[in-house]
Amino acid sequence: MTVLIDIDSHEHHLFSRTPSGACAKAPLGSRGDCIDIGLINNMSDAALMSTERQLFDLLDAAAGRVCVRLHFYTMESTPRSEWGRDYVRRYYRGIGDLLNSSLDGVIVTGAEPRAASLTDEPYWTTFAEIADWATKNTVSSVFSCLAVHGAVLHLDGVARHKLPAKCFGVFAQTKTRHHPLMQDVPRTFRIPHARWNEVQEEDLTDCGYSVLTWSAEAGVDCFVKQQKNSLFIHFQGHPEYETQSLLGEYRRDMGRFLRGENEVCPTIPRNYLNEGAEKMLIAFRQKALSDRSPELFAEFPADQLAKELSNVWRLPARRIYRNWLHYIVSQRARRSHSVRDAALAAAAIPPHRRGRKLVAAPSARLARSPNPGTTRRL
């Protein structure tokens, strides 16, 4: 199935990635066979488009026969440049629209931390509203990176911990328990991480979270908890990342160091580069430390390094997201049956007759139809 994009303007870059520029303009109340997923994109201006592309491609690869309709939302309180404000104005809806609707699922992205405390971030109040809304108005919600730390802090008081160095690289994860989200996912697989903080396993389990994957190098990755109506899924890592995402982040951090915007020279991402590429990056880093200047940034060997990269996390990431979409489909069907049964019970229809009533009625209508062609079309 195609991932449909609920955006008014066909100028958006994602339309070039769909087979026919698939656009989904239908009210949320008339969903049909599609499941509606909201992307609440809190990334910086520079990462807005790449985040859209990463998650669109991952959902498209995972969907299979599931029809997905993707809706974009932005937190107006997220600091943006003039370009960023214009971009989200053209292609995104505001959080007010989100809070007045319901969706089958949402994906809430993280952002670079700006404040020492999450509650001091400029968007904190809005983020807390989103988390509360999602517990009642989604079947399941995915939180990524910093959004993970915000969700567990707001809902359960679980605090993040500052790491001594950035957790940066591709790390082996081990499944710690059976769960539908991990169906057909290898027992051990690798996922990219890029963060300065973490939430810890003991704090999470004390508050009722179930840890699904864990890494000896990176700690907890995926964990879940039922929050009222919604299964909340948290990734401290980035299963959605593209092959070059970590390279781009390292290049950005190196540029900040060379320009004097950051006094810490970034560490090379671990378990990401092959031997030749790592030697190339080590040599550049040593030169940056000994001859720090903005002009050196032009020599960053991005093209040469990109040729040496491989993506080892795509398959498990696709399976995890496939399982998430299937979970939403199954839960939505179950809830639909529950609503139907409640309506029939309210109408005083005995349980042993409910199935026959529902099946017989359409047949009777078809038998009375004056147009034989109608039966063939149905």
40: burial class by Cβ within 10 Å (0-12, 13-18, 19+)?
Answer: buried
Q: Which residue shows structure tokens 């053209």?
A: 90
Q: Are 272 and 169 in contact (CB under 8 A)?
A: yes
Question: Looking at the DSSP assignment, which residues form a beta bridge with residue 40?
Answer: 73, 108
Known catalytic residues are: 145, 238, 240
73: CB partners within 8 A, 6+ apart: 38, 39, 40, 41, 92, 93, 94, 95, 97, 98
Q: Which residue shows structure tokens 């160091």?
A: 257
Binding-site residues for substrate, in ranges, read 166, 252
Q: Are 119 and 85 in contact (CB under 8 A)?
A: no
Query: Between the CA atoms of 338, 128, 41 and 104, what dihedral angle is there, to the nearest 10 degrees?
Result: 0
Query: Angle at CA 217, nearest 5°, toward 205 and 114?
Result: 75
